[in-house]
Amino acid sequence: MFRFLPWKSIVKRAARAYGIADPALWLARIRSFAQPSEVAEPIELLRAGILFHARGIVNTKAIQHNLDWIWPYWVQRQFDPNDVSFIPRAFSFSHVNLTHRNWTAVGLPELSIYSIVDPRGLFTPLQDGWSIDCWLVAPDGKMVAPSRLPDAAVRQELVVSDNDLSVVTLSRLHGMTLKQTARVVVEQDQPVAELQVTATAEGAAKLVVALRPYNPEGVQFIDTIDASEPQTGWLVNDKTEVMLDRPAEQMLVSDYAHGDVSSLLHGSTERIGGNHDQPHVVCSVGMATAAAIYPFEGETTLRVRVPLQQELASLGNVEKFNPRVTWNEARRPIAKLQIPDARMQGLYDGAVQTLLLLSADEVVPGPYTYRRFWFRDACIMMNSLLAIGMPDRCRRMIEKFPSRQLRNGYFRSQDGEWDSNGQVLWFFDRYEQLTGERLSDELMATLPRAVEWIQNKRVMDDADPLHVGLLPAGFSAEHLGPNDHYYWDDFWAEAGLRSAAAIYARRSQSREAADATAKADDLRRAIDRSIHRIPAWRSLSGIPASPHRRIDSGAIGSLVADYPLQLYAAGAPPIMATVDALLRRCFLHGGFFQDMIHSGVNAYLTLDIAQTLLRAGDSRYRDLVESVAKLASPTGQWPEAIHPQTGGGCMGDGQHGWAAAEWAMMMRSLFVREEADRLVVGSGLFAEWFESDEDLVFGPTLTPWGAVTVRVANPRVEPTIHIDATWRGAPPRVDVALPGFARIDQANTAGPLPLARDENQRAAPSLHHHTLAEGSPR
């Protein structure tokens, strides 16, 4: 019925009556910047954006008028006019975290609940929930409130040990030290978020454990707080327990009208409602705060726990949680990396941990902001999971894919994005190649409709020669710009069709294989025609994001044709022209700066370019790898995009799964990477690693021919390379191509291979010195 209503006229009349500009006119103007498309904006993103800015509006009302409160780290920085993170608020209708979107998740191998820790130890145990903070107070009123401390006073690290995953935050000032260790543990077969606190002081002091109505995104309401008897915890919002392992000497509460509970720490013991032994607070605004106080001298410890059973039940994942799977068991099959660079080694271990966490149930690209499913992120993350030795997890994920396929064959994450069918078909092929297993009948039944959807979706009757035969204009990968005919979608579609052909060929289904191949060839011809028709002044001999765009940062999407899809030969001129243009125009501080939406340095896209350079034999790849390592947070994580001035996250999730996946794949590629008919071994190993006496190792990693471990023994004195493989059939061609050593083509992998140094090999000029000089225009 709504379609038959004259709603545009109704809206126009209402707007005129209230003196407001006609929204339909403005919407038409906005959409004119994009190519016409059947889905202007995916409803899923609109919904997420509404929720995001709804919180931002709450932040606007809550924060700037109450800067005497102790706020989370990002607020303390972003609202400080003396800080580089400061953002004037003026006409900003919503105040959101744009400068320090950093957090680190803790959890369990088979638990899809992610408790997060911000850069100052603020612990948020529940999904998008309130938080727990800890402070120290000296008798003279001096405080250690971690969110307010300078960077030099705080150290944070991710601890990955045998059966533990924890984030440790150490804060020191005024002769006092606060150590907070956050993790998730199992108690009586149930998950429990745990915060262990150790406080030391040169004299007397108070340890304060505080309930905070916010998290790293901003305000999160606390309406009610009830203290337990005898002062060993709270019940928050009438449902969630916070348990303290010993009674507090004093428990304080406050509501919004009386200010932050932190204001009561210096002498006043006013309570809002309740009584001395059992304080209670109800806040109509949703900004209730509470503090448990523990006086001490010298040192004290405390354990704070939040049971997660209710959270698990609300997600419907009670039966999926297996408390008996330990971190040791989960990590056992994973490819081992051993290099003398402790920073890069730690980043690999952290990346593996992130991938395990974010694939506990469905694969999600982040523990908080992006805790939802997209085929795009899932397929890229599962490709990494496969490579490092986690096929069981991947099998579990792809078994859910048929339920997400629509009757018309579309694998739908959200409307308006046309890359998903290609990605699913490509990953199905990767799964069969790397595991040697066959897809189930249920998965095979999705292939014909997926292939036909791609063919039917192509724009075959459009008069515009620039995009005829391509997929329609769409929102695509979100960060490429306004709706357009993105080559990103087309390259994924081509790769998906070729993957479907390969899957059919393995089953000797020659007719289906030939049909998928013919469709792929026809699409490739349309792509090539489109690229060749782009005026040279726009293309710069490269491949822009779409046939209607100039070379800009959106062209990063077109490089998917090289990595990971390998639709072009290594070092192909259009690919390298695109790379060179991006290096000249779109790099900042050694990383790829994405102007579109992200407006930050992007770690995983920088690594994608590094993979293309490595594949082309261009040694500039290592500058990019080193830059990405420097961009990681102290806990070894990358947000989706990084603020070029603060170094904190400015876009997306603060712990990005795609970035972790690409770091793991980059470390793998340094040791072993695949070409169509061969393995290339050692082509990315850093020269300085050969100054170490410790063996260089990566593996076992799955490849299309079997599991492979690459080891360089005695790298400093008499280096030999060992390729330990379990081939599933005839061994592939193996080329050993270590920088600085004589190349060994078609190497015999049956035994150790001595490496002879090649003095004629010279390193390429440093990328930093020649194209990324500080202060040079992008």
State the pLDDT confidence band at 759, using cuts at 50, 70 and 90: confident
In this prediction, residues 237-254 reach a mean pLDDT of 95
Predicted local distance difference test score (pLDDT) of residue 446: 98
Task: State the Cα–Cα distance between residues 438 and 274, nearest whole angstrom.
Answer: 65
Top pLDDT among 4 and 634 is at 634
Which pLDDT score is estimated for 434?
Answer: 98
**391-398 and 420-435 helices, crossing angle to 10°:** 140
Neighbour tally for 459: CB within 10 Å? 15
* pLDDT score at 19: 79
Q: Which distant-in-sequence residues (6+ apart) come within 8 Å of 750 by Cβ?
A: none
- Within a 10 A sphere around the Cβ of 175, how many other Cβ atoms? 14
pLDDT digits (tens, 9 = 90+) for 478-493: 578 888 999 999 999 9
Choice among 273-277, 316-320, 483-487 with the minimum mean pLDDT: 273-277
Residue range 515-536: average pLDDT?
A: 97
Question: How many angstroms separate the CA atoms of 110 and 324, rounded?
Answer: 9
What is residue 112's predicted lDDT score, i.e. its pLDDT?
Answer: 92
Give the pLDDT band of residue 551 (cuts 50, 70, 90).
very high
pLDDT exceeds cutoff 60 at 1: no
- What are the distances in angstroms from CA 722 to CA 714, 743, 745? 11, 15, 15
Separation in Å, CA 371 to CA 72, 249, 366: 21, 39, 5
Residue 766 has pLDDT above 70, yes or no: no
Share of the chain above pLDDT 90, in %: 80
- Average pLDDT over the chain reads 91
- Kindly indicate the confidence band of residue 254, based on its pLDDT and cuts at 50, 70 and 90: very high
| CB-based contact 594:556 (threshold 8 Å) | yes
Higher pLDDT, 695 or 3: 695
CB contact set of 92 (below 8 Å; sequence gap of 6+): 60
Record the tokens describing residue 130, joined without a space: 């309130």
Which of 261-275, 306-320, 464-478, 707-721 bottoms out in mean pLDDT, i.e. has the lowest?
A: 261-275
Residue 231 confidence (pLDDT): 84
Local confidence band at 767 (pLDDT 50, 70, 90 cut-offs): very low
* pLDDT tens sequence across 5-42: 676 677 777 777 877 777 767 666 666 666 666 766 66
At 417-434, the pLDDT tens digits run 899 999 999 999 999 999
The stretch 125-140 carries a mean pLDDT of 97
CA 218, 223, 226 angle in degrees (round to 5)?
120
Residue 186's pLDDT is what? Answer: 94
pLDDT category, 85, cuts 50, 70, 90?
very high
> Between these two residues, 267 and 71, which has the higher pLDDT value?
71
Could you write out the DSSP letters of every residue in 454-497?
HHHHS--S-S-TTTTTSPPPB-TTSSS-SSB--HHHHHHHHHHH
Q: Is the dihedral of CA 664, 163, 654, 145 positive or negative?
A: negative
pLDDT recorded at residue 366:
97
Predicted local distance difference test score (pLDDT) of residue 50: 85
DSSP labels, 658-721 = HHHHHHHHHHHHHHEEEETTEEEESTT--GGGGG-SSPEEEEEEEETTEEEEEEEESSSSS-EE
CA distance 60 to 93: 7
Is pLDDT above 70 for 120?
A: yes
Give CA–CA dist 213/457, Å, rounded: 47
If 0-12 CB within 10 Å is exposed, 13-18 middle and 19+ buried, where does residue 263 land? middle
Separation between Cα atoms, residue 565 and residue 477, nearest integer Å: 16
pLDDT tens-digit series, residues 163-193: 889 999 999 999 999 999 999 999 999 999 9
Q: Given a cut of 70, is residue 151 above it in pLDDT? A: yes
Q: How many CB atoms lie within 10 A of CB 218?
A: 24
Please tell me the predicted confidence (pLDDT) of residue 474.
86
Per DSSP, helices labelled H in 246-308 are none
Q: Report CA torsion sign: 246, 247, 251, 255.
A: positive
C-alpha 581/C-alpha 553 separation (Å) is: 9
Pairwise CA distance, residues 136 & 68, whole Å: 17
* pLDDT for 52: 86
Q: What is the pLDDT of residue 208?
A: 98
Question: Per-residue pLDDT for 270 more than 70?
Answer: no
Question: In this structure, how many other beta carbons lie within 10 angstroms of the beta carbon of residue 170?
Answer: 17
Amino acid at 216: P
Kind and range of the H or E run holding 201: strand 190-212
pLDDT band at 46 (very low <50, low <70, confident <90, very high): confident
Contact 322, 158 (CB under 8 A): no
Going by pLDDT thresholds of 50, 70 and 90, the confidence category of residue 777 is very low
> Could you give phi then psi for residue 680, rounded to 5 degrees?
-110, 120
pLDDT classification of 320: cutoffs 50, 70, 90: confident
Mean pLDDT of all residues in 368-385: 96
For the CA atoms of 732, 697, 736, 667, the dihedral, rounded to the nearest 10 degrees, stands at 90
Q: What is the pLDDT of residue 740?
A: 93
Lowest mean pLDDT among 42-51, 413-422, 598-607: 42-51
| Mean pLDDT, rounded, for 510-528 | 98
Say yes or no to pLDDT of 705 above 50. yes
- Contact call for residues 254 and 288 (beta carbons, < 8 A): yes
